[in-house]
Amino acid sequence: MRCVGIDLGGTAIKAGAVTPAGEILARGSRATGLEKGAAHVLDTIAELARELGAQGGLGLGVPGLVDHARGRIESCPNLKVMERLPLREELARRLSFDPARIVLENDANAAAAGEHWLGTGRGERDLLLVTLGTGVGGGLILDGKLYVGRGGMAGEIGHVVVEPGGRACGCGAKGCVETLASATAAARRARELGLPRGNPGDLVELARLARASDGPERELLLAVGRDLGYALATVVSLLDVRTFVIGGGFGAATDVLAPGVLAGIRARSYGERLADVRGRPALLGADAGWIGAAAPLAR
């Protein structure tokens, strides 16, 4: 059987097919082409699904709040045209599938499911996937299963406040971890310090220099990691979760962020549990989303 997953993003649609045993069979991608309208996006998704050999079902990860009952996107800042469309029904019609076999999920949640199924989190009882990109996203695996909460919004680590009274966040609060440890925030902090020299704000080069020597670049990534750790400390306290999988573009710097992350967790959480807290890089990269979207079909 081929389980097909689709990761719908603002600029690209990534997709693939995987067997229930976790063997990746094929990958595909397309430009989202938002400017051509919602019908075009729906057609493109259906086309990809057919190409990848979807059999009766499809998993779809979307960058927004999912209304699972209605099978649609409730809110989605980067894909406004897709909001409140009867997404599940439209795709079922185009593909002649049973709507019940079209499974929607928030993309960060899907990525968590993907890393748990076939990536870094394989075999873990509990984990939080943290994505460091434009914002800070999160997806929570509790007791071996994706946990999305009553309204589908659980795992929103990005808006945990770690610096009360700090920088204003888009969400309305101040000092959210997103304002301190997203890729965007880290690049801003780097630019403010003129790091790395020559090309301030270049996070790839910043991480390379931090790996190479104990200079201001390493110090900055230690500070950024610590701020992230402060947020993760609340997850340790509240949920007794001890495995953190760091993904998103800036997740590539997990090796140099990790010492700070662990220091931050240590500083703001309960002592006894810290021995086995681990921060590990995500493994699946850009595949995590579509793999996690496909995961429910494998059961």
Residues in the site for its own copies, rule: CB under 8 A?
A: 65, 75, 125-126, 138, 140, 142-143, 147-157, 159-164, 171-173, 230, 233-235, 237-242, 267-273
Count CB atoms within 10 A of the CB of residue 82: 20
Q: Both ends of the chain: CA-CA distance in Å?
A: 11
* Shortest distance, position 178 Cβ to its own copies, whole Å: 11
Rounded Cα–Cα distance for residues 22 and 101 (Å) = 19
Query: Which residue, 142 or 193, is less far from its own copies as judged by CB?
Result: 142
Phi-psi region of 123 (alpha: psi -120 to 50; beta: other; left: phi over 0): left
* Shortest distance, position 174 Cβ to its own copies, whole Å: 8
CB 218 within 8 A of CB 206: no
Beta strands in the chain (DSSP E): 3-8, 12-18, 24-31, 58-62, 65-67, 72-75, 102-106, 127-132, 136-142, 145-147, 243-247, 278-281
Query: Which residue, 204 or 270, is less far from its own copies as judged by CB?
Result: 270
- For the residues of 77-145, what is the DSSP string, one character each? GGGGGGBT--HHHHHHHHHT--GGGEEEEEHHHHHHHHHHHHSTTTT-SSEEEEEESSSEEEEEEETTE
Query: Which residue, 233 or 291, is less far from its own copies as judged by CB?
Result: 233
Q: How long is the chain?
A: 299
CB 25 within 8 A of CB 49: no
Q: Which helix (H) or strand (E) holds 224?
A: helix 216-239
Which is it for the CA torsion 236, 241, 245, 248, positive or negative? negative
